[in-house]
Amino acid sequence: MANEVKLHGVTGSPFVCRAVIALNLKEIKYEFVAEDLSNKSADLLKYNPVYKKVPVLVHNGNPISESLVIVEYIDEVWKGVPILPQDAYEKAQARFWAKVIDDKCLPAVFKAIASHGEEQAVAEAHEALQFLENELKVKGSKFFGGDNINLVDISATFLALWVGAAEEALGIEVLSKHKFPKLTEWSDNYVNCQAVKDSLPPKENLVAFFKKRFGKA
């Protein structure tokens, strides 16, 4: 069977980046189909009629939407570097923390950024991020996945590069080194993993994006 892999995405999206990192980790050859979000392709609308969003992975004609669903699918279909733990309990814990990042941490951090670092919003982001800081402290490991990155690290991609870019663009501080020493150490280690490094957009592009999107006139 032909193994045709396409990824519909936009550069600069942390959610698309999750899928790209998983593809790179597994050394999968794929075609990147660049979408214009102001004029979405007929394929994208057909593949993801519910959300009409990227990323969409299309494997031999079969579309899969939602970044974490895509990452789990990639891990299941392609052998090589594992992305989820093998042990059922550890796997459940990884899924739990990925969900915490999506449902609790990212919305709080987005809000802190969108508010230009308004005090209450930053306090709420800190409260959410403290759970991740504690988890890294308890694990005592380089990554959420231990010695190597896993689903949780990939879920937290936004925190590793995008937040720093937003801080630089807007002159705010959300993820301070002083308050979150483990998370900032994790962030440095994470962006320097080869598969991650190869997948990330240039930071200056993100800084420019945040200036345009959230910057004061």
- The count of other CB atoms within 10 Å of the CB of residue 100 is 18
The DSSP 8-state label assigned to residue 201 in this structure reads: P
From residue 200, give the alpha-carbon distance in Å to each of 21, 121, 188, 191. Answer: 8, 27, 13, 8
87 vs 89: CA distance, rounded Å: 6
Is residue 179 part of the contact set for its own copies (CB under 8 A)? no
Is residue 49 part of the contact set for its own copies (CB under 8 A)? yes
**Region of 97-105, 139-147, 152-160, 168-176 interacting with its own copies (CB under 8 A):** 97-105
Is residue 104 part of the contact set for its own copies (CB under 8 A)? yes
Is residue 66 part of the contact set for its own copies (CB under 8 A)? yes
Element (H, E) at 56: strand 56-59
Q: Nearest approach, Cβ of 169 to its own copies (angstroms)?
A: 29
Nearest residue (CB) to its own copies, 76 versus 118? 76
**Are the C-beta atoms of residues 34 and 11 closer than 8 Å to each other?**
yes
Is residue 116 part of the contact set for its own copies (CB under 8 A)? no
The DSSP 8-state label assigned to residue 202 in this structure reads: P
Contact positions with its own copies (CB under 8 A) in 147-176 = none
From residue 148, give the alpha-carbon distance in Å to each of 25, 86, 107, 161. Answer: 11, 14, 26, 18
Is residue 4 part of the contact set for its own copies (CB under 8 A)? no
Is residue 77 part of the contact set for its own copies (CB under 8 A)? yes
Is residue 65 part of the contact set for its own copies (CB under 8 A)? yes
Q: What residues make contact with its own copies under the rule CB under 8 A?
A: 49-50, 59, 62, 64-66, 69-70, 72-73, 76-77, 88-89, 91-93, 95-96, 99-100, 104, 131
